[in-house]
Structure formats: C-alpha cells, structure tokens
Amino acid sequence: MDFQIENEEIKNYFEILSKDIPDFLIEYTNVPEMQRLKGISMISACEHTRLIPYKFFHTRYEHSIGVALIVWNFTRDKKQTIAGLYHDIATPSFSHVVDYLHGDYEKQESTEEHTEKFIKESKEIMALLKRDNIKLEEIVDYHIYPIADNDSPRLSADRLEYTLSDGLVTQDAFSIESIKRIYNDLKVLKNEDGEDEIGFQNLNIAEEYIERASIMWHLFSGNSENNMIMQFWTDILRKMVEEKYITEQDLYKYSEKEIVNKIKHCSNEKIRNAFEVFSNSTEVGRSNIEIKDKYCICIKVKKRYTNPLVIDESGTIKRISDISEKGKNIIEDIKNFEDSKYAYLELEI
C-alpha cells in the first residue's frame, strides 16, 4: 500500500520527510474524507489564473500527509501523527477563501471548527480509532501537540511543511536537494517555555532556510497578486451562492475543478466574463488610492514567517533573530512588508 501519489517530485519529497511510512498512516489516509482533499489546492487555487506561476497542482491531501510524516519522523507517536494528518480534514474547496467569506482574513482559522464533526461522522475513521484504542479527543485537535502545531512564529510541522512544499511548487524557493540539506539538520529542541520544538543544529543551515522561506513569506503575506486571487475567489463564490448556482456546502462536496466548471458554464454572463479575465491575467494593477472604475481590493492578511530555534556555538538554544543579523533582518523585512494599499483588475463581478 502507498499514498497513491503520482508526482515524482512529491514522492521524492516525502522520502526526505520520513525514511519509513508506518502501515497505520496509509490506512488513516485511505478514507473518503482524506481522499476528498486531492481536489483542493494548497496554494490559493492559483492554478486557475496566471497571476502566480506554479509547476504542478499541489493539494491539501499532499500537505496533510507531509505534516503527518514530519510529526512521525520527530515523535514516532501514533496519536500525534494522526492528529497532524487530520488537521485539514475539514478544509473546503478554495481553502482559506471560506475564512475570507466569514471575515477571518488574519487568523484564517474559521474552517478548523468543523474538524471534529468530519472525523466523528466518518464510519471508517471511527472504526480505525476504535480498533487502535484511540480516543477522539486525542487526535481531533493537533494544537495540543507542539511538534505538530504551535503559536507563530515558532516552527512546527505544519508551518515547516507548507513552507517547504509551497516553495517547491511555486517559486523554486526550495529544491529537493536544498530541502534534504535543511531537513536533515533539524532536531527536537526545548524552547524558552520548556516545550518541544523543531529547531536547527547549525546556524548556516538555519539562515539558508530563512532566506529561502522568505521568498514564500513575501508571496503569501500581503503580496498583491496573492491578495487578488484570494479576494476574487471570495467575491465570485459569494456571487455564485447568492444567485443559487452553488451553496456554501457545495465547497465541501465538489472539487475546485468542478466548481470552476460550474462558474464557466453558469448562465450569468458577468460571472463568466469576470472569471475569463481573472484566469488570463498575468499581473495586477497597484495603487495607493482606490480605483473606482476597476475591480479594486484592499485587504490585510495573515503574516507568515518563523523565527526558529538554533543551537549556537556554545551549545545554547536561541532564536535565530537573537544570534543572526541576517536572520533578524529577513524576519523584520517580512513583518514590515507592505505591498500597495490597493490592487485591481479590469473586470466586474
């Protein structure tokens, strides 16, 4: 048995994350609720526009497996690994766009409230948990396991995985070779609160990670193209719901490609034309004042960055910002990064 991954680059990437794949992980992955995630993009559904270049369709399914493999590699704990695997099980098509629909631009956590419901209502998952004598509360919230998830800007399996894989897929920020070099330097350390946290053994490797990761942080932490993609999906999906072409529940039923097909073939010409312009756009207009006669957006989104632990020359564990001027400057640059206040396209929804 395997994860049924066709992309060779993702296969190679998974082999770095964990030298072995336990049988139970395959079983917990081969349930309908996880298979559904194969139709959901990990990178803002940018595959349906030309605003952000990408190499191949990267899915929430792959991300979830990646998180589980990282957790397994560093803990060898079954419950923590399953919690990591299922942390995105309730993600709808277009992922954080539903957070935007609910007004959650900065935390982007509104979809997580359905995790328990998805797991509890799955006969297959509940049967596996019963077989393995695992309680629902032990795997339903990965926040209770600091290796799987912790507060930003600390490094966790989730934060590490999406940075590495998104960088592999979109901006060539990471290659298979650089991921292997960086990942092999990581180990579990004790942070300032005495909790386990993934960190670096060598400063030069930590600095390489920060430098490469900053490419992704810029892309997803206020970049106008990414903001446009997320806000466009929010508005066009809201319009599709308002005019009863879809329901919000359909985002948990259909893949992104199926929803896009509904948009392309809906009877509203304005919606179809707006998507046509969006899907063929290669750049957005930028402005510090609102452009009244354009599709003009202005949003503030979640800042994504990490300030990882590093073992310094004396063997002391510190944050990279405390021992590396380079690391500190990169982090401060991301924290202070602001693209243009407004971004716009020549379309009307």
Phi, psi dihedral angles at 287 (to 5 degrees) = -160, 150
Low-confidence ranges of the chain (pLDDT < 50): 108
* DSSP 8-state secondary structure symbol assigned to residue 92: P
Q: pTM here? A: 0.94
Joined together, the tokens standing for residue 139 give 């795997």
With CA atoms as reference, report the closest residue to 218 among 84, 124, 300, 335.
Answer: 335
**Residues paired with residue 286 on neighbouring β-strands, in sequence order:** 343
- Residue 92's nearest CA partner among 260, 262, 250 is 250
Confidence at residue 111, expressed as pLDDT on a 0 to 100 scale: 58
Residue 325 burial (10 A CB sphere; 0-12, 13-18, 19+): exposed
Rg of the chain (C-alpha set): 20
CB contact burial 180-209 (16+ within 10 A = b; e otherwise) = bebbebbeebebeeeeebbbbeebebbbbb
For 196, the enclosing helix (H) or strand (E) is strand 196-200
Task: Give the C-alpha separation, 91 to 162, whole Å.
Answer: 15
Domain locations along the chain: 8-222+303-336
Strands 196-200 and 309-311 turn out to be parallel
| C-alpha to C-alpha distance for 338 and 218, rounded to whole angstroms | 9
Prior bond to 153 cis, omega within 30?
yes
Name the residue among 252, 14, 251 with its Cα closest to residue 263.
251
Q: What local confidence, expressed as pLDDT, does residue 1 receive? A: 53
Q: If we measure between CA atoms, which residue out of 174, 157, 156 comes closest to residue 165?
A: 174
Tally the residues of the chain: 349
Q: What is the pLDDT of residue 112?
A: 60
Contact 229, 235 (CB under 8 A): no
> Could you tell me which CATH number the domain at 8-222+303-336 has?
1.10.3210.10
pLDDT of residue 322: 97
Contacts of 24 (CB under 8 A, 6+ apart): 78, 82, 128, 132
Give the count of alpha carbons within 13 A of 230, CB side only: 30
Neighbouring C-alpha atoms within 13 Å toward the C-beta of 91: 28
User: What are the start-end ranges of the H helices in the chain?
Assistant: 8-17, 23-29, 32-35, 60-75, 78-85, 97-101, 115-120, 123-131, 157-169, 176-183, 203-220, 224-242, 256-264, 269-280, 320-323, 325-336
Question: Side chain identity at 172, as an amino acid letter?
Answer: D
